[in-house]
Amino acid sequence: MTLDSDATAVASLALGALALPLADVLLARKRSLLGAQLTRERRGSYLAFATGLTIAIALLFTLASDGTGLPLDPNQPLATFDGLSRFLGAVTLGTALLTVLSTNRYLAGAGTRHGEYYALLLASLLGLVLLPACTHMVSLYLALELASVPGYALAGIRRDSPRGSEAALKAFLAGSVSSAVLLYGAALLYGATGELALLEIGLALDPGEPLALLGGGLVLIGLAGKLAIVPFHQWSPDTFEGAPVGVVAFLATAWKIAVLGALVRVLTLALAPAEEAFQAVLWALAALSMTLGNLAALVQRNTKRMFAYAGLAHLGYVVLGLRVGGAEGTAAVLFFLLAYAPAALGTFAAISALARDGRESDRLEDLAGLFRRQPLLALALAVCVFSLIGVPGTAGFVAKFQLFSVSLSQGVAAGDTGLVLLTALALANVALSAVFYLRVPVALFMREDSGTGPGGTPGSLDRAVLAGCAWAVLILGIAPQDAGVIVPGGDLLRLAQGAAGALY
């Protein structure tokens, strides 16, 4: 029964991705499927509704599964539907749903072709939902490419804009190099162990063998490149600046969350025997990502670029959690992702909500004086930003507290000075991030409207999405145990623990 629900979720996404272009064509004819000819905006709304419905169905079925659909089994090595895939799948789908809801008005204004946009989004989402479930190098690679290729096209969906083309090209070049590196690493691992299933690789891996370490390292680098962890991040700010804000929201939340799921699988299954060697790599990646991400975000004036760099810093915190490892560290990472999603999504949704005719309000000045014009929108955005800083009362605080608490306990228990120093660095980085994040509330509340922004009026869906994000952030921050109201399943802290516990 429960595999049925996981499978139904995946199948509904696949069906949606295939049916949507067809529906677009049928709706676009002079005598459309629904009778009279439809305006472009109208058609877009129908397609957005269909996409949202598809994702919602997939989300419901994912939540309905009990996380034991297809346990880890050497005879069925391609995929595993367990707590981790359920948790990350649900978070990915939830953020994607909110993204779709918040971009419809923007797309209508920008004159983008809706049909392609939603079809690509669903295809990419299908890959993403499968990613955390993949436990085989081949299926993992396929899912990653299924997610990536539509992703490149999405980044360049605004073909009229040179920046859009730049965004797509950079994402494509970096992404395909990352894929190649990942594939090469998998090949080396196969050479060293003779296996392709992650579980079998882990059983056969000899931590003393350079070939295996090199292979594992290349797989890590490939995934790090897809995630844009520093120093493999150069494509990400340019892509984020050039791509439409809805796509950026998708790449910054749903995308990262799902690919991190793949990283967790690889680390816990395939590379577990060589833990010590890779811990140093993760340490360096975390330290670089959080520090350089925040330092680079300090000097940005474009909010999308700023949030892109700040997202790198958040990836650094996540990698710190992976460096801690174990059921506790992974649970903290999962909750961190859950907490990060609505806050990050809220910031992008706000940028999208203020766009007019495809012009985005992506400069800091465009947010100036927003509190006067749109008090509720400004408050919701401020709540999201405070969560990204980690102010108590918001999800960001609980997530960061849990993450740093776990890493310090382990550092103390193991007498591990490196881990304690890394956590101290992370805390210093959180303080540093306050410097640039606070520019947003300063602009919202304490500056006068410059009058040069696009000054669009948010639609009711935009408002609803932002309010939902702010609400999720607050409820996760104040009562994470009782936050089951968001996702049926009750105690989200325990849910994350359960999902992580299944891995060990």
Partner 1 sequence: MDGLAYLAERHLLTSIVFLPLAGALALLLLEVSLTALSSSIQRFSALTWRVFGLVFALLGLALAAELWLLFDPAAGGLQLVEHAAWLGDWGVSYYVGVDGISLLLVMLAAFLYPLALLASWGEPSERARHLVVLLSALQTGLLGALLSLNLLTFFVFVEASAVPVYFLVGLWSRRGSGAATRYMRLSALGSALLLLGILLLGSLHAQQFGATNFDLFGFGGAPGLIETELDGAGPWWTAQGFLFAAFAIALFIKAGLFPLHFWTPDATVESPPSASVLLAAVGLKLGAYGLVRFALPLFPLAAAAWAPWMCALGGLGALYAALLAVVQTDLERLVAYWSLSIMGLVCLGIFGLNPIALEGALLQMVHHGLVIGGLLLLSGMLAQRRAISRLGELSGLAGSMPVFAAIFTLLLLSAAGTPLLGGFSAAWLIFLGAYPSAPWLAAAAILTLGLLAVFAFWLLGRALFGALPGGGGRQLAELDLREKLVACSVALPVLWMGLSPMTFLGPVERSVGELLESMQRRGAAGMESGPEAAAQPRPGRGAGN
- Of 37, 412, 457, 490, the one binding partner 1 (CB under 8 A) is 412
Three-class HEC string of 187-206: HHHHHHHCCCEHHHHHHHCC
Q: Give the interface segment with partner 1, choosing from 141-149, 191-199, 251-259, 385-393 (CB under 8 A).
A: 385-393
Q: Of 110 and 324, which CB lies nearer to partner 1 in the complex structure?
A: 324
How many Cβ atoms from other residues are within 10 Å of residue 36's Cβ?
Answer: 8
In the three-class reduction of DSSP (H, G, I as helix; E, B as strand; rest coil), residue 354 is classed as coil
Short-list 225, 245, 244, CA closest to 235: 225
Q: Which amino acid is at 286?
A: A
Q: Of 235 and 386, which CB lies nearer to partner 1 in the complex structure?
A: 386
Q: Which amino acid is at 232?
A: F
Q: Of 25 and 485, which CB lies nearer to partner 1 in the complex structure?
A: 485
Residue burial 58-83, b: 16+ Cβ < 10 Å; e: rest: bbbbbbbbebebbebeeeebbbbbbb
* Residue 102 near residue 462, CB atoms below 8 Å: yes
- How many residues bind partner 1 (CB under 8 A)? The answer is 37
In the stretch 462-481, what mask flags binding to partner 1 with x, by CB under 8 A?
------------------xx
Distance CA 184, CA 221 (A): 11
187 near partner 1, judged by CB under 8 A: no
DSSP state letter for 271:
S
Q: Give the interface segment with partner 1, choosing from 60-68, 289-297, 338-346, 397-405 (CB under 8 A).
A: 397-405
Q: Of 303 and 423, which CB lies nearer to partner 1 in the complex structure?
A: 423
- Of 28, 434, 467, 486, the one binding partner 1 (CB under 8 A) is 434
Integer distance in angstroms from the first to the last C-alpha of the chain? Answer: 25
Q: Of 196 and 331, which CB lies nearer to partner 1 in the complex structure?
A: 331
420 near partner 1, judged by CB under 8 A: yes
Short-list 124, 324, 347, 315, CA closest to 227: 315
Q: Of 60 and 427, which CB lies nearer to partner 1 in the complex structure?
A: 427
- Of 8, 409, 455, 464, the one binding partner 1 (CB under 8 A) is 409
Q: Of 276 and 448, which CB lies nearer to partner 1 in the complex structure?
A: 448
76 near partner 1, judged by CB under 8 A: no
Distance CA 316, CA 446 (A): 31
CB of 141 to partner 1, least distance (A): 37
Q: Give the interface segment with partner 1, choosing from 96-104, 121-129, 349-357, 425-433 (CB under 8 A).
A: 425-433
Nearest 5°: phi and psi at 19? Answer: -80, -25
| Two tokens, residue 501 | 């516990």
Q: Give the interface segment with partner 1, choosing from 8-16, 107-115, 232-240, 424-432 (CB under 8 A).
A: 424-432
Three-class HEC string of 133-154: HECEHHHHHHHHHHHHHHHHHH
Distance CA 250, CA 98 (A): 9
CB of 199 to partner 1, least distance (A): 30
DSSP string, 378-411: HHHHHHHHHHHHT-TTSHHHHHHHHHHHHHHHHH
Q: Of 199 and 496, which CB lies nearer to partner 1 in the complex structure?
A: 496
- Of 408, 464, 467, 486, the one binding partner 1 (CB under 8 A) is 408
393 near partner 1, judged by CB under 8 A: yes
391 near partner 1, judged by CB under 8 A: yes
- Of 96, 263, 338, 430, the one binding partner 1 (CB under 8 A) is 430
Q: 24-32 long-range CB contacts below 8 Å, 24 or more apart?
A: 24/114, 24/115, 24/116, 24/119, 25/115, 28/115
386 near partner 1, judged by CB under 8 A: yes
460 near partner 1, judged by CB under 8 A: no
Short-list 96, 231, 251, 84, CA closest to 167: 251
396 near partner 1, judged by CB under 8 A: no
| Two tokens, residue 101 | 């809801």
Distances (CA, A) of 53 to 11, 29, 36, 41, 96: 14, 23, 23, 18, 12
CB of 252 to partner 1, least distance (A): 23
299 near partner 1, judged by CB under 8 A: no
CB of 135 to partner 1, least distance (A): 29
Distance CA 202, CA 207 (A): 10
Which residue is it, tokens 């790198």?
Answer: 312
CB of 494 to partner 1, least distance (A): 8
- Of 65, 178, 236, 423, the one binding partner 1 (CB under 8 A) is 423
CB of 298 to partner 1, least distance (A): 11
Q: Of 138 and 435, which CB lies nearer to partner 1 in the complex structure?
A: 435
Q: Of 154 and 406, which CB lies nearer to partner 1 in the complex structure?
A: 406
Q: By CB under 8 A, name the binding residues for partner 1.
A: 386, 389, 391-393, 397-398, 401-402, 404-405, 408-409, 411-413, 415, 417, 420, 423-424, 427-428, 430-431, 434-435, 438, 441-442, 445-447, 480-481, 493, 497
